[in-house]
Structure 1
Amino acid sequence: MPDTLLEVSGVRKTFRVARNRLTALDGVDLRIGRGETVGLVGESGCGKSTLARVLMLLERPDEGTVSFAGVDPFTLRGKELLAWRRRVQMVFQDPFASLNARMTAAELIGEPWRTHRDVQPTAAARAARVRELLDLVGLRAGDAERYPNEFSGGQRQRLGIARALALEPELIICDEPVSALDLSVQAQVLNLLAELQERLGVSYLFISHDLSVVRHVADRVSVMYLGKVIEHGPAEAVFDQPLHPYTAALMSAAPSLDVSGSARPERILLQGELPSPLNPPSGCRFRTRCWQATDRCAAEAPPVVSREAHEGLCHFPLAAAAASA
């Protein structure tokens, strides 16, 4: 297992909504190793984006700790905080909305250097580095003077990746980075991210609702439901032998490109709507949609079930039932 770069422990974040409290994150644990890709999956509203905002220091957790290379970034101030911000960057979902339409590619890539002036101190150094980054993400040096509307969707996302790499970060948070792209372009961007990771050793937190994409890129996977991580472990174990019924339902709904004729898991159709985070169910939060739920699930919070590095929160884990059958 690679050395730990980022470790999140017991992070809780609530927001005031009218006279109520909405718990967006409820005791979230997460670990990312150096040079590793961790996939974060779950339905809309489960807390994925809130966690990303916490990791970018845009939100401060109410409880819990965040450790980056052994340092709590929320304790940093002034120049130390500014230096830390170079180490974590973000690639956004919409490559057009995240780019200023009035700036050229060179200006967009060089924008972080306006704040971190010592990274590329001279105009000549900045121009040379822009050309290097354009080449690194598969664009041409001549693209430096083009505007975002002159690029295709895939090219704009490459431009966003180049901007994220400008400060040579150790961790890039990818928030649905290919969901707005065509399938063929998705593959190009995913392959680019993999090549950059191999070349630069950068780590990724890959946030997505597309499980086929996550399976392709992630070393480990964390599954979120109503503010909690309900299952996490090596990608192969989570996808092939899910412990939690919610994870199994997600996997059964994921599209497959397998044309070998091998048996696919039976589709699991969840009943009911996603409960409101303003009033989550007692005990197991998934119980209102779970086909295995009993009175125990309503009365007791589910325990942690562990199989080597694979863990889930469930009274009746699926892999255990399969093993005993």
Structure 2
Amino acid sequence: MSENLLEVRDIRKSFRVPHAGKNKLCALDGISLDLARGETLGLVGESGCGKSTLARTLMMLERPDAGTVRFDGVDPFTLTGAELLKFRSRVQMVFQDPYASLNSRMSAAEIIAEPWRSHKGLIKNRQDRDMRVRGLLDLVGLGAKAADKYPQEFSGGQRQRIGIARALALNPDVIICDEPVSALDLSVQAQVLNLLNDLQEQLGISYIFISHDLSVVRHVADRVAVMYLGKIIENGPTDTVFDRSDHPYTAALMSAAPTLDGTHRQERILLSGEVPSPLNPPSGCRFRTRCWKATEVCATTTPPVTVDPDFGGHTALCHHPLLLEGSGLETVSA
């Protein structure tokens, strides 16, 4: 059995857009990534880069046009009936907005127990349900007294804890966290992030952590994948991606990320121009219209993948990786 719980290879997904003629919006263009057991993969990039589409695909809410997904060695898109339902229990999601993602007419106990209505046979009776709900509330730090309260009686951070308890109800292997702390105050963010970390240590859960906040990603992620216009343009161990970025886009992102003392690690890199439309992306390298290192080859040829074997298989999709000279980087075909 592979040590990777999730293996994604070259998946593609496009959508038809009204009034766009024959053009399709290419949301995912050859995405490949791995997620190990008990690991947190940070997924970062500007709005519209494809992060949410990738999350929806891994949740099986979207079917890829091409490519393969293997979860514990099995292609989930081939499953039907009871096998499909069982798979869905193994991948859960924590949503961005703790106010909109909980039904205000349901108590905390009803919200947490809701997944068991679809996945029958996991609880024996009402007494078993109540006991498990209390256990989950204790696990996320709310306590059994919270069971009969309604979402409007909780703070934002407490609501997110209820959302996490709901995601844990089916004992998942993977939780996709879609901007789970962006709507919370900084002090509350830290509490929720520490909770997620504690749960991972206790339960061995793997996380895919989607965020715009690079300081949060650095705090929680073991590895980081950087997306731009439907492609993963850099992928590697978190410290490597942050401290020795190979792709110019990643370097620009990281230059804007403050350190703990509020300063920046390097001279700020300011990008010119707007993100191109995914309906009509640039030829060759999709980042070339905003890149200060772009040359003619960037306009005519898809960038190769450079691999740095000395830094955990750190990869970048670039003709001119920033640390190529004097490094152990190897260029392979895209």
What is the TM-score of this pair, normalised by structure 1? 0.97
Q: Kindly provide the CA deviation profile for residues 54-81 of structure 1, in whole angstroms up to 9, marking residues without a partner as x.
A: 0010000000011000000000001110
Give the equivalent residue in structure 2 for 1:191.
Answer: 194
Matches of 1:319 and 1:151 in 2, distance apart?
48
Which residue identity is paired with 2:241? V
Residues 178-217 of structure 1 aligned to structure 2 (within 5 Å):
178-217=181-220
Say whether residues 1:315 and 2:319 are aligned partners. Answer: yes
- Judged with a 3 Å threshold, the aligned counterparts in structure 2 of structure 1 residues 167 and 108 are, in CA distance, closer, same or farther, namely same
- Residue 124 of structure 1 and its aligned partner are, at CA, apart by 0.6
Which residue identity is paired with 1:16? R
Matches of 2:235 and 2:251 in 1, distance apart?
13
Give the equivalent residue in structure 2 for 1:160.
Answer: 163
Q: 1:140 aligns with which of 120, 139, 143?
A: 143
Say whether residues 1:35 and 2:38 are aligned partners. Answer: yes
Runs of 4+ in 1 over 4 A off after TM superposition: 321-324
Q: Kindly provide the CA deviation profile for residues 86-116 of structure 1, in whole angstroms up to 9, marking residues without a partner as x.
A: 1000000001100000000000000001011
SS of the equivalent of 1:7 reads strand
Give the equivalent residue in structure 1 for 2:331.
Answer: none
Q: Kindly provide the CA deviation profile for residues 178-205 of structure 1, in whole angstroms up to 9, marking residues without a partner as x.
A: 0011110000000000000000000000
Matches of 2:319 and 2:88 in 1, distance apart?
41
Which residue identity is paired with 2:323? A
Gaps of 5+ in 1: none
SS of the equivalent of 1:193 reads helix
Give the equivalent residue in structure 1 for 2:227.
Answer: 224
Matches of 1:167 and 1:241 in 2, distance apart?
39
Residues 253-272 of structure 1 aligned to structure 2 (within 5 Å):
253-258=256-261, 264-272=265-273
SS of the equivalent of 1:126 reads helix
Matches of 1:56 and 1:303 in 2, distance apart?
29
Matches of 2:325 and 2:270 in 1, distance apart?
20
Give the equivalent residue in structure 1 for 2:50.
Answer: 47
SS of the equivalent of 2:324 reads helix
Residues 226-265 of structure 1 aligned to structure 2 (within 5 Å):
226-258=229-261, 264-265=265-266
Which residue identity is paired with 1:5? L
**RMSD over aligned Cα atoms:** 1.3
Matches of 2:145 and 2:38 in 1, distance apart?
31
Give the equivalent residue in structure 1 for 2:91.
Answer: 88
Percent of residue pairs identical: 70
Q: 2:177 aligns with which of 167, 174, 177?
A: 174
Give the equivalent residue in structure 2 for 1:115.
Answer: 118
Matches of 1:87 and 1:228 in 2, distance apart?
26
Matches of 1:117 and 1:15 in 2, distance apart?
34
Q: 1:63 aligns with which of 63, 66, 73?
A: 66
- Residue 236 of structure 1 and its aligned partner are, at CA, apart by 1.0
Say whether residues 1:295 and 2:292 are aligned partners. Answer: no
Matches of 2:36 and 2:117 in 1, distance apart?
30
Aligned 8 A contact 2:258 2:265 in 1: no
Which residue identity is paired with 2:12? R
Matches of 2:57 and 2:228 in 1, distance apart?
17
Matches of 1:79 and 1:229 in 2, distance apart?
33
- Judged with a 3 Å threshold, the aligned counterparts in structure 2 of structure 1 residues 151 and 303 are, in CA distance, closer, same or farther, namely same
Matches of 2:188 and 2:257 in 1, distance apart?
19
What is the TM-score of this pair, normalised by structure 2? 0.94
Give the equivalent residue in structure 1 for 2:14.
Answer: 14
Aligned 8 A contact 2:7 2:69 in 1: yes
- Residue 299 of structure 1 and its aligned partner are, at CA, apart by 1.0
Gaps of 5+ in 2: 329-334
Which residue identity is paired with 1:166? A
Matches of 1:75 and 1:208 in 2, distance apart?
30
Q: Kindly provide the CA deviation profile for residues 14-46 of structure 1, in whole angstroms up to 9, marking residues without a partner as x.
A: 000122211000000011000000000000000
Q: Kindly provide the CA deviation profile for residues 235-288 of structure 1, in whole angstroms up to 9, marking residues without a partner as x.
A: 1111110010000000011122236x8x72110100000000000000000000
Residues 88-107 of structure 1 aligned to structure 2 (within 5 Å):
88-107=91-110
Q: Kindly provide the CA deviation profile for residues 280-307 of structure 1, in whole angstroms up to 9, marking residues without a partner as x.
A: 0000000000011111110111111110
Q: Kindly provide the CA deviation profile for residues 149-175 of structure 1, in whole angstroms up to 9, marking residues without a partner as x.
A: 100000000000000000000000000
Matches of 1:299 and 1:134 in 2, distance apart?
56
Matches of 2:275 and 2:124 in 1, distance apart?
51
SS of the equivalent of 1:173 reads strand
- Residue 209 of structure 1 and its aligned partner are, at CA, apart by 1.0
Aligned 8 A contact 2:7 2:70 in 1: yes
Give the equivalent residue in structure 2 for 1:4.
Answer: 4
Which residue identity is paired with 2:315? E
Give the equivalent residue in structure 2 for 1:278.
Answer: 279
Matches of 1:190 and 1:110 in 2, distance apart?
23
